[in-house]
Amino acid sequence: MGGPDLLRFHSSSPLPPEETRYRLIGAGPFVSTLLRPPAPRVDGLGQRAVWNDRKDTLTSTGVLFSAGRGTRLRPLTDSVPKAVLPMLDVPLGAFGMSQLLKICSSVIVNAASDARSVIEVELRAGMGGAFGNDKAMTIFEESPEPFGAAGTLAALRDRIGERALTWNADTISDLDLSDLFNAHRASAAPATVAVTPVAGNADLAIEGRWATTFIDRRLRPEAAGARFIGAAVFERAVLEALPDDRPLGLAESILRPLVKRGELAVFIHAGYAADVGTFPRYVGASLDLLEGRGPAPPMAWPGEILRGPGGVAYLGPGAFAAKGTLGPGAVLLAGSRVEEDARIERSVIWRGSQVGAGEKVCDAVWPWFRGSGATL
């Protein structure tokens, strides 16, 4: 059990109007400073890389991959698409969207047909005025089933500029996409992916700034090397070479062939990166954000961060916590309620749900998932 009670009694204010709930604190439409352009060279696809700072940003299109079903997060994702899962009441995909808007004047968000409206509404509300105009974000509907990441890029060829900057919506990272973009420009490669060094479950073996071997971690989970963290830059020539098949996976259709030809550059990111794909990872990433281990939010947190001698907790808009119920790592999403004599530690209490009197919740997503530490 945790330390002293984080707070005695707290009830946040009622939910504010939707249009005033979020406040953007730092995403801009363009990169302010770029590295000096390298000398152009002819890459392995026969494309001459000629760089112009302003033109590069204006002709780069952002793509937020958001069509994943999130099957490992059911039943959460039966009602809320994984791309907009609430991370302390901020949509998950907003973290990637804010990075893409640093480089790109427009971002395409792919979505399964049954999730399109929810993703669009949540991201627009969550990003506030970041888009500037309605054309800054476009929803690309995939039906009857998602196309796969490479399939999406193939389908979007006519709507993408000279290059695509991509971000997986379920990735949270403190990676600055402008650093990846600059590394890509310096390499003059057909594609550059952001990776982090790992002792196992690697996707790539690397030498310097280039990938040398593609690793299938399903077959070689023990392999050390580098893991792709979900952000990449692809020149248009890569997209033009893709077949029109659906679904089409990124690893097999783009990364493996580029590695084989020695044409995949890597940007090594030593900071924070998390794939929010399971219940434990969802709880873990929420706690990382709460406790400052993860990246800063792309907008102000909609609720309150509560600090006390026992640790830190989050109380979302309209949430209520009875006296002495919140321990370290308690995350109460918007509209949730915790009754007297309950205790919450290292857990996410889902939006609008209620924890009854006397309940003890630990390492959980209430009311659906309880981890190994669920009993206090």
Give, in degrees to the nearest 5, the angle at Cα 287 between 123 and 128: 20
Q: Which one, of 200, 331, 195, lies nearest residue 267 by Cα?
A: 195
**Widest CA span of the chain, in angstroms?**
68
Q: What is the pTM of this model?
A: 0.81
**123 vs 194: which has the higher pLDDT:** 194
Tens digit of each residue's pLDDT (9 = 90 or more) over 165-191: 999 999 999 999 999 999 999 999 999
Do the beta carbons of residue 72 and residue 275 sit within 8 Å?
Answer: no
196 secondary structure, DSSP code: E
**Of the ranges 20-29, 101-110, 290-299, which one carries the lowest mean pLDDT score?**
20-29
How far apart are alpha carbons 89 and 203 in whole angstroms? 32
Residues 272-296 pLDDT 10s: 999 998 899 999 999 999 999 999 8
Task: In whole angstroms, give the CA distance from residue 376 to residue 374.
Answer: 6
Q: What is the pLDDT of residues 245-260, one digit of tens each?
A: 889 999 999 999 999 9
Return the structure tokens found at 9: 């009694």
Per the CB < 8 A criterion, the answer to whether 326 and 339 are in contact is no
The reported pLDDT for the residue numbered 165 is 97
CB 291 within 8 A of CB 308: no
What would the pLDDT profile of 103-160 be if each residue is shown by its tens digit?
Answer: 888 899 988 877 888 888 888 776 665 554 556 888 998 888 889 999 999 999 999 9
- Distance set, CA 193 to CA 101, 148, 228, 292 (Å): 18, 17, 7, 26
State the virtual CA torsion across 108, 114, 115, 118 in degrees, nearest 10: 110
Quick one: DSSP state of residue 230? E
Q: What's the rounded Cα separation, in Å, for the pair 193 and 201?
A: 17
Q: 138-168 burial, b for 16+ CB within 10 Å, e for fewer?
A: ebbbbeeebbbbbbbbbbbeeebbbbbbbbb
Least confident of 29-38, 95-104, 274-283: 29-38
- Are 373 and 359 in contact, with CB atoms under 8 Å apart? no
Tell me if 231 sits within 8 A of 175, measured CB to CB: yes
